[in-house]
Chain A
Amino acid sequence: MKNSTLVFRSLGIIIFLAGLAHLFSFGVEISDDNPVPTQETNSAPVEESEAATPSETPTATSANDPETDFLIDKWQVSYKTEDYNGAIIYDIKKEDKTFNAYLHQYVDQMGYAVNAEGDKVLTVTKFNGRKGKGIYTITYEGKQYEVACKIARVNENTFNLSYDYYGYADVETWKRH
């Protein structure tokens, strides 16, 4: 067998196997590709919003998991939309092995903060420390919608939360506050 054949066949095998491993590590989403909105509500009062239950059984974490527990903290997200221009600080807590995010503070462009009423806006239903999914409450033109979302860790202090609700898509960057 020619040396060039040996080289090309060997490289092909190595690229195929290494590529497969990288595909399964970085290319495969552990959640569904098509997030399904679970519930639609009209300007839900606080009680109703808090009472809303996610459609999936939480399976996220063990009691103490250093790989996922980095989420427990306050996180800041900046918005610049017609509805809201400023930042919102969320408080993520671990409750019964599930991570929940609550509204903590509204911060305007000048940096003035107003305490929020503590509505629950996010329930993380699955998270492996790197990727996950959950149910996120978004407000659009005065209406609240519960949509499936994906979470992707960027680093220890940043993760991205993305959703796509009938074409209304966004990626929020949550930074440790």
Chain B
Amino acid sequence: MIEFLAKKLEWLDVNYWFYIFNDLSLFYIIIPFFILELIRYAYLKRLSKDLVLDSIANILTFGGFFLIEIILGILAITKVYYWVYNNISLPHLELNWATIICCVLLADFAYYWEHRTMHRIGIGWATHTVHHSSPHFNMSVAYRFGPLDAIMPIVFSLPIVMLGFDPILVLLSEVFVQVFQTLLHTEIIGKLTKPIEFIFNTPSHHRVHHGSNRQYWDKNYAGILIIWDRMLGTFEPEKEKVVYGISQPINSVNPIVVFFHGISRFVKKLGEIKGFSNKLLAFVKPPDWMPKQ
């Protein structure tokens, strides 16, 4: 077993397996599952114009996010990641099963903190609120991103590169976590068996995360493993029926309104805050923070 975990792997093989899960899953699981969800909506007589337009808006916001991600990704990977990897990292780790598993788990843990930060600081919520603003919950919501959603992952994945992991492996692991997360955006799957619900993030746990019910706020940040939430005090089980969305609904399916509403609300809030230092504090203080005036 130890020899198996330590056995050196070829990049070609590793890329192949990540390609099957990260890239091809869109075609063999995500799109078919989304079609199944639409059929279910139709069967339950919940397939409305609003839901269809909301889903289209979700996909369009992903287009905007993806464009920013590509630009940032190229810059980050070719410049920042490799500079860090070559100059301020621990000894470079070789490619074997143990390093891949550890890298995915570290990427998952980094995702937890990145996600938690997105919820708990003003500028993070200004962009991440887009993802939570849909009143629906299906696979298309997983693609609903804000304009700055691509920045925070870079900040949180750099320490993994500093630990000696290859930047490309870190990137592939991050996408792996993101794809796993995508599969959780569904109402079709109820609660799974107790051991799975205890260890892994599941659709039930993630429904809670998207809930606007007060007790569900800022809970279940996990990507793959829900044990991070259990260990760090942010776990909440699904009990009350989840009401999706945010506390101040946007009531719009216009993709531009959806994509920029968080930023525009944040800019408006900055305008209401007096004093330069207070304005700066608003970036890092919790989203509901306002200075005492």
Residue numbers of A with Cβ under 8 A of B are 1, 6, 9-10, 13-14, 17-18, 20-26, 28, 30, 128-130
Are B109 and A17 in touch, CB under 8 angstroms? yes
A21 to B8, CA, bound (A): 13
B148 at the interface (CB under 8 A from A): no
A30 to B6, CA, bound (A): 7
A24 with B98, Cβ < 8 A, contacts A9-B231, A17-B105 known: yes
19 new A-B contacts, CB < 8 A, other than A18-B163, A18-B164, A28-B2, are: A6-B233, A10-B113, A14-B106, A14-B109, A17-B105, A18-B102, A21-B103, A21-B164, A21-B165, A22-B90, A22-B164, A23-B98, A24-B2, A24-B102, A25-B93, A25-B98, A28-B3, A128-B8, A130-B8
Secondary structure of the B side of the interface?
helix
Secondary structure of the A side of the interface?
helix
Q: For B187, what are the chain A residues with a Cβ–Cβ distance below 8 Å?
A: none
B99 at the interface (CB under 8 A from A): yes
Q: Which of A17, A23, A24 contacts B106 (CB 8 A)?
A: A17
Nearest residue (CB) in B for A23 is B98
A23 to B109, CA, bound (A): 20
Are B165 and A1 in touch, CB under 8 angstroms? no
Minimum C-beta distance from B102 to chain A (A): 4
A25 to B165, CA, bound (A): 11
A55 to B41, CA, bound (A): 66
B37 at the interface (CB under 8 A from A): no
A17 to B173, CA, bound (A): 14
Q: For B32, what are the chain A residues with a Cβ–Cβ distance below 8 Å?
A: none
Minimum C-beta distance from A45 to chain B (A): 38
Q: For B213, what are the chain A residues with a Cβ–Cβ distance below 8 Å?
A: none
Q: Which of A9, A18, A26, A30 contacts B7 (CB 8 A)?
A: A30
A17 with B102, Cβ < 8 A, contacts A10-B113, A22-B91 known: yes
- Residues 95-128 of chain B, each 1 if its beta carbon lies under 8 Å from chain A, else 0: 0101100110110010001000000000000000
Minimum C-beta distance from A99 to chain B (A): 17
Are B94 and A130 in touch, CB under 8 angstroms? yes
Q: For A13, what are the chain B residues with a Cβ–Cβ distance below 8 Å?
A: 109, 228, 231
Nearest residue (CB) in B for A26 is B91
- Please name the 6 residue pairs, one residue from A and one from B, whose CB atoms are nearest each other, closest first: A24-B98, A1-B233, A21-B102, A28-B6, A18-B163, A25-B93
B5 at the interface (CB under 8 A from A): yes
Nearest residue (CB) in A for B116 is A6
A141 to B99, CA, bound (A): 45
Are A20 and B98 in touch, CB under 8 angstroms? yes
A80 to B262, CA, bound (A): 75
B232 at the interface (CB under 8 A from A): yes
Q: For B165, what are the chain A residues with a Cβ–Cβ distance below 8 Å?
A: 21
A13 to B163, CA, bound (A): 13
- Residues 174-218 of chain B, each 1 if its beta carbon lies under 8 Å from chain A, else 0: 000000000000000000000000000000000000000000000
A28 to B163, CA, bound (A): 18
Q: For B163, what are the chain A residues with a Cβ–Cβ distance below 8 Å?
A: 14, 18, 21
Q: For B233, what are the chain A residues with a Cβ–Cβ distance below 8 Å?
A: 1, 6
